[in-house]
């Protein structure tokens, strides 16, 4: 009983602490001076450096989804609906969630480990005593870059996923690229694109926030750095599913999915 | 109980009484949970002085200097640096004071992802007004020259040896031309030859910049060579104070035991 009470207390404390950290982010993000150069560098590191992984995963995701679903669609005589089905699944759900999970692993762990190691080796303290605001320089730029880059990565993953799906369709069936993509774009509505794009921003924010929080509060020692990286991935992944569920609920109210 | 070992320093003390201390600490208390680390520490640091604070591992030496730049918040007591009360300062005022107080970290704390040049540029970016009229590149080169490492300007910290890292960190500390320099274990983890080089470098910088230094160490050789005055931090207070000669001859049991233990290492 005591252990359960302690776990609940720890959980609530951690939630409060992350909320405070998020509040501090919003407070610092709107106050000058702005670290544009570092923001651009982080956009490059988070966005460009994750692009290959996201594209490769997106492509395979399109291939696999089409290969798995096609036999069932043939069975129901609905193979001509393949572009619609794949288009909606990738754009609405699979693209954003898979991309966010990959980024939670790659970006979240790297931010957690980097800031954790900076904390342990007193680099953050060194920034502070030199009169620079380390929160603004390290945390605000990383969370912003992650929030801005994730939707772009999702768009890239969606596009390449649809292309992968088309490849299988053109090999197994008889469809031209123009026809395939015409059907996809005719099917997709504003209600499919907008909620998916908005939730991608939230995914990016959650990944950056959790990575920075875990790294910035990592305990002393190399073990602390490992734990920070690991718990950043676990917590960010969990948060992504919670955000996804809430996003679908909200989208359902506005667009009747 | 505080031990008065500074009888031989009466003359200099009389002179000091006329000076305004750059750092004044009164009744400083700091606890981590139930562990009371500092239990009422007092200190006056006068211009151009080199004061060494000696103490066993875990005695609160690093906590003490971190309190001076508010890297650690104090629980109780007064800290005045250049006449300003550190615990009460607003962030902007604190940042301003921090430019006058250089801090050399125990592990050098160079920014891993930046070159040596960028490491030295970093403190300047927020304080360009302070450095008005001075060329950034010239300041960087001067700081590197003062530690004898001009050739390392484009290297990454990972490419430097332990001693080089410490010297670059020292150059980064000096670039804002601080009035006070805090050294946290400047020779720890270094071999005796490199330690000696760092000690000589600190003395040279002291002479050239006329800065005031507060040095935290448990390296007795370093303390003996660098200090004008030593303070033994024991049981959370400034237990004994005086020159090396005075303290090493002390009859006090704790001071004797401390020196004996240090010399054993």
Assigned domain for B107 exists: no
pLDDT at B182 over 70: yes
For the sheet containing B76-81, what is the strand order? B35-45, B23-32, B76-81, B84-85
Assigned domain for A7 exists: no
Do both B225 and B159 map to the same domain?
no
- B30 interfacial to chain A (CB closer than 8 Å): no
Q: In chain A, which residues have their Cβ closer than 8 Å to the Cβ of B103? A: 126, 129
Do both B11 and B44 map to the same domain?
yes
d(CA A211, CA A188): 33
- The mean per-residue pLDDT over the stretch B112-136 comes to 80
d(CA B26, CA B80): 9
**A132 to B125: CB separation less than 8 angstroms, yes or no:** yes
Assigned domain for A1 exists: no
- A28 interfacial to chain B (CB closer than 8 Å): no
Assigned domain for A3 exists: no
d(CA A147, CA A111): 13
- B180 interfacial to chain A (CB closer than 8 Å): no
Candidates B66, B110, B123; nearest CB to A130: B123
Do both B163 and B193 map to the same domain?
no
- The number of folded domains in chain B is 2
Average pLDDT, chain B: 86
pLDDT at B76 over 50: yes
| CATH number of the structural domain spanning residue B66 | 3.40.50.300
- A3 interfacial to chain B (CB closer than 8 Å): no
Candidates A33, A128, A131; nearest CB to B71: A128
Domain of A58? Answer: 36-255
pLDDT digits (tens, 9 = 90+) for B200-212: 888 888 888 888 9
Do both B17 and B90 map to the same domain?
yes
- Structure letter (DSSP) for residue B103: E
pLDDT at B127 over 80: no
Q: Which residues touch B116 (CB under 8 Å, ≥6 apart)? A: B110, B144, B149, B152, B153, B154, B155, B156, B157, B160, B168
**A125 to B111: CB separation less than 8 angstroms, yes or no:** no
- The residue of chain A nearest to residue B71, with distances taken between CA atoms, is A125
Assigned domain for A23 exists: no
Do both B171 and B137 map to the same domain?
yes
Q: Which of B123, B143, B175, B178 to mutate to test the interface with A (most CBs of A within 10 A)?
A: B123
Candidates B101, B113, B126; nearest CB to A132: B126
State the pLDDT at residue B10: 46
Assigned domain for A6 exists: no
**B122 to A123: CB separation less than 8 angstroms, yes or no:** no
Q: In chain A, which residues have their Cβ closer than 8 Å to the Cβ of B172? A: 126, 130
d(CA A216, CA A17): 12
State the pLDDT at residue A27: 93
d(CA B265, CA B261): 7
State the pLDDT at residue B96: 86
Domain end residue (candidates: B177, B197, B212) = B177
Are the C-beta atoms of B43 and B208 separated by less than 8 Å?
A: no
Assigned domain for B145 exists: yes
Give A137 to chain B, closest Cα distance, Å. 11
Domain of B167? Answer: 112-177
Do both B217 and B236 map to the same domain?
yes
Q: In chain A, which residues have their Cβ closer than 8 Å to the Cβ of B158? A: none
Assigned domain for B126 exists: yes
pLDDT at B17 over 60: no
- B99 interfacial to chain A (CB closer than 8 Å): yes
Assigned domain for A29 exists: no
**pLDDT tens series, chain A, 257 aa:** 788 888 898 889 989 999 999 999 999 999 888 889 999 999 999 999 999 999 999 999 999 999 999 999 999 999 989 999 999 999 999 999 999 999 999 999 999 999 999 999 999 999 999 888 899 999 999 999 999 999 999 999 999 999 999 999 999 988 899 999 999 999 998 888 999 999 999 999 999 999 999 999 988 778 889 999 999 999 999 999 999 999 999 888 887 65
Assigned domain for B106 exists: no
pLDDT at B7 over 50: no
- A132 interfacial to chain B (CB closer than 8 Å): yes
Assigned domain for A16 exists: no
What's the CA dihedral at B17, B19, B21, B22 to 10 degrees? -170
Do both B87 and B207 map to the same domain?
yes
- Closest to A227 measured CA to CA, from A148, A83, A115, A123: A115
Assigned domain for A4 exists: no
CA distances from A57 to A102, B43, B224, B227 (A): 9, 62, 63, 62
Do both B161 and B130 map to the same domain?
yes
Do both B10 and B95 map to the same domain?
yes
Q: Which of B70, B111, B170 to mutate to test the interface with A (most CBs of A within 10 A)?
A: B111
* B73 or B1, higher pLDDT: B73
Q: How confident is the model at residue B128 (pLDDT cuts 50, 70, 90)?
A: low
d(CA B59, CA B236): 7
Q: How confident is the model at residue B197 (pLDDT cuts 50, 70, 90)?
A: confident
- B150 interfacial to chain A (CB closer than 8 Å): no
- The residue of chain B nearest to residue A127, with distances taken between CA atoms, is B123
pLDDT digits (tens, 9 = 90+) for B211-223: 899 999 888 888 8
Length of chain B: 265
Assigned domain for B163 exists: yes
**A123 to B111: CB separation less than 8 angstroms, yes or no:** yes
Q: How confident is the model at residue B262 (pLDDT cuts 50, 70, 90)?
A: confident
Assigned domain for B105 exists: no
Do both B79 and B130 map to the same domain?
no
Upstream peptide bond of A33 is cis (omega within 30 degrees of 0): yes
Domain end residue (candidates: B160, B177, B194) = B177
Do both B134 and B260 map to the same domain?
no
Question: Residue B191 class from Cβ within 10 Å (0-12 exposed, 13-18 middle, 19+ buried)?
Answer: exposed
**B112 to A126: CB separation less than 8 angstroms, yes or no:** no
Do both B221 and B173 map to the same domain?
no
Give A222 to chain B, closest Cα distance, Å. 14
- The number of folded domains in chain A is 1
Q: In chain B, which residues have their Cβ closer than 8 Å to the Cβ of A131? A: 95-96, 98-99, 123, 126-127
Assigned domain for B221 exists: yes
- At residue B110, the 3 state secondary structure works out as coil
- Closest to A28 measured CA to CA, from A142, A118, A116: A142
């Amino acid at each position: 009983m005591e252990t359960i009470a302690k776990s609940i207390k720890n959980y609530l404390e951690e939630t409060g602490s992350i909320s405070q950290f998020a509040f501090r982010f919003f407070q610092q993000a709107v106050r000058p001076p702005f670290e544009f150069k570092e923001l651009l560098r982080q956009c490059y590191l988070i966005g460009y450096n994750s692009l290959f992984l996201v594209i490769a995963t997106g492509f395979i995701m399109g291939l696999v989804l089409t290969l798995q679903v096609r036999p069932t669609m043939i069975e129901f005589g609905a193979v001509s609906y393949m572009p619609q089905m794949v288009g909606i699944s990738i754009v609405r759900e699979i693209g954003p969630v898979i991309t966010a999970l990959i980024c939670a692993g790659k970006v979240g762990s790297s931010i957690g480990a980097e800031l954790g190691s900076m904390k342990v080796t007193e680099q953050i303290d060194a920034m502070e005593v030199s009169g620079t605001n380390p929160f603004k320089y390290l945390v605000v730029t990383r969370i912003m870059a992650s929030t801005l880059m994730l939707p772009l990565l999702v768009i890239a993953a969606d596009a390449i996923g649809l292309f992968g799906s088309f490849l299988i369709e053109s090999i197994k069936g008889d469809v031209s690229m123009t026809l395939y993509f015409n059907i996809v774009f005719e099917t997709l509505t504003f209600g499919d694109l907008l909620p998916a794009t908005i939730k991608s921003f939230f995914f990016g924010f959650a990944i950056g926030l959790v990575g920075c929080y875990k790294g910035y509060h990592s305990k002393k020692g190399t073990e602390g750095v490992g734990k920070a990286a690991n718990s950043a991935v676990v917590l960010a992944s969990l948060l992504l599913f919670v955000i996804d569920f809430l996003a679908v609920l909200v989208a359902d109210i506005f667009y009747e999915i | 109980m505080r031990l008065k070992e500074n009888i031989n320093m009466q003359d200099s003390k009389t002179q000091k009484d006329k000076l305004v201390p750059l750092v004044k600490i009164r009744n400083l208390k700091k606890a981590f949970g139930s562990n009371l680390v500092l239990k009422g520490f007092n200190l006056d640091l006068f211009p151009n002085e080199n004061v060494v604070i000696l103490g066993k591992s875990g005695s609160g030496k690093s906590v003490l200097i971190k309190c001076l730049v508010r890297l650690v918040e104090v629980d109780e007591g007064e800290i005045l640096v250049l006449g300003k009360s550190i615990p009460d300062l607003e962030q902007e005022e604190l940042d301003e004071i921090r430019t006058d107080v250089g801090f050399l970290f125990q592990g050098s704390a160079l920014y891993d992802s930046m070159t040596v040049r960028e490491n030295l540029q970093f403190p300047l970016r927020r304080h360009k007004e302070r450095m008005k009229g001075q060329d950034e590149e010239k300041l960087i080169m001067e700081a590197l020259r003062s530690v004898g490492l001009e050739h390392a300007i484009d290297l990454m910290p990972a490419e430097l040896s332990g001693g080089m890292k410490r010297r670059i960190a020292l150059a980064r500390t000096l670039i804002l031309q601080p009035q006070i320099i805090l050294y946290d274990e400047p020779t720890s983890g270094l071999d005796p030859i490199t330690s000696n080089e760092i000690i000589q470098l600190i003395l040279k910088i002291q002479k050239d910049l006329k800065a005031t230094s507060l040095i935290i160490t448990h390296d007795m050789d370093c303390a003996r060579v660098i200090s004008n005055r030593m303070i033994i931090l024991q049981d959370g207070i400034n237990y004994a104070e005086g020159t090396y000669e005075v303290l090493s001859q002390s009859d006090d049991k704790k001071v004797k035991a401390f020196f004996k233990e240090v010399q054993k290492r």
